[in-house]
Amino acid sequence: GVTLALAPWRVDSGDILLPLKAVIFGFTIGEVTISFGAAFFAILLFGAGILLTRGLQRWLTQNYLPRTHLDSGLRNSIVTGIGYAGFIVAAAVSLSGLGLSLEKVTIVAGALSVGIGFGLQSIVNNFVSGLILLWERAIRVGDWVAVGTEEGHVKRINVRATEIETFDRSVLIVPNSSLVSGVVKNRVHNDRTGRVVISIPVSRDADPDLVHRLMSEAAQANGKLLRDPAPNVQYKKLGENVKEFELTGFVAEVDDAGRVSSELLFAIDRALRANGLGEILSRTVMVNEEKSK
């Protein structure tokens, strides 16, 4: 009946049923026959692999790694690396579920490499760069980095790009390849020690020995400044109207540098006023995260 109905249009019923047969009974690519059931099974295998990987990552993040002495950057590298490995294993297992051997997968990958070379080159480049970042650990989660004119803390190293949260709470999305091939300043690469520099100009008539003593006492009274290397006060400049003194100290955690600078300014200001040195003519605060030698 179907053949007679299609006869006026010169359409063979086999042409219509062929796609349906391919879906039900499978189709052949080279020496491999892929059926609907095999494809469905492969998808299930891939999904199960991804779920297991995510579960392992969650267990490591919430239960195991917090009890270790590893820093947050290394913990993130371990979790992310397991995510990459789990994805690759899940993909390999799902392909084997389709009946593809390693040799056949290699042939397919070789064919896909042509497309990768043209259309997906940047994606692959960023993916490989992300692996390099995780392996070399030149940039880690939590690091204070500067990229161009932007600065902030690394929040996440993803497959394609790295998220950097700036100090105005914006998120900077930087391609991984830019971090590998470009110039990046990592302020805490060796350690998280930060340097605080405070310049205090006072009246030219002020007693320099008294100013030096008051600033030194303020530094010694601050519990967040490291004692080794010890805080140092220097008489930096003698101008026409002012004398300039500079206090240099170090903090164990670079993120505390701004808060410690504010505390020192308050303490020095109070000490100068209490000793009759008058108002500070101007204040200049530099938070310089150079590392101690």
Q: What is the pLDDT of residues 5-38, one digit of tens each?
A: 444 544 444 445 455 555 555 555 555 566 667 7
Q: What is the mean pLDDT of the chain?
A: 78
Quickly state the pLDDT bin for 63 (edges 50, 70, 90): confident
Ranges 88-97, 119-128, 251-260, most confident = 251-260
> Can you tell me the distance from the alpha carbon of 30 to that of 153, in angstroms, rounded to the nearest whole number?
51
Distance CA 130, CA 146 (A): 18
Per-residue confidence (pLDDT) for residue 234, from 0 to 100? 94
Reported confidence tier of residue 74, pLDDT bands at 50, 70, 90: confident
Q: What is the pLDDT of residues 79-110, one digit of tens each?
A: 888 888 888 888 888 877 776 666 666 666 66
Contact 206, 238 (CB under 8 A): no
Q: What are the Cα distances from residue 19, in Å, to 26, 233, 287, 290?
A: 10, 84, 70, 68
Residue 248 has pLDDT above 70, yes or no: yes
> Structural domain boundaries of the chain?
2-133, 137-186, 194-288
Check pLDDT > 50 for residue 220: yes
Q: Global pTM?
A: 0.55
Provide the 10 A C-beta neighbour count for residue 81.
13
**3-state SS assignment for residue 198:** strand
Considering the domain 137-186 in this protein, what is its CATH number? 2.30.30.60
Q: Are 172 and 163 contacting, i.e. CB atoms less than 8 angstroms apart?
A: yes
- What fold characterizes domain 194-288? Alpha-Beta Plaits (3.30.70)
User: Per-residue pLDDT averaged across 254-275, rounded?
Assistant: 90
More confident residue, 222 or 277: 222
Q: What pLDDT does 216 receive?
A: 94
Contact between 186 and 139 under an 8 Å Cβ cutoff? The reply is: yes
Higher per-residue confidence, 291 vs 188: 188
The rounded distance, in Å, linking the Cα atoms of 135 and 180 is 12
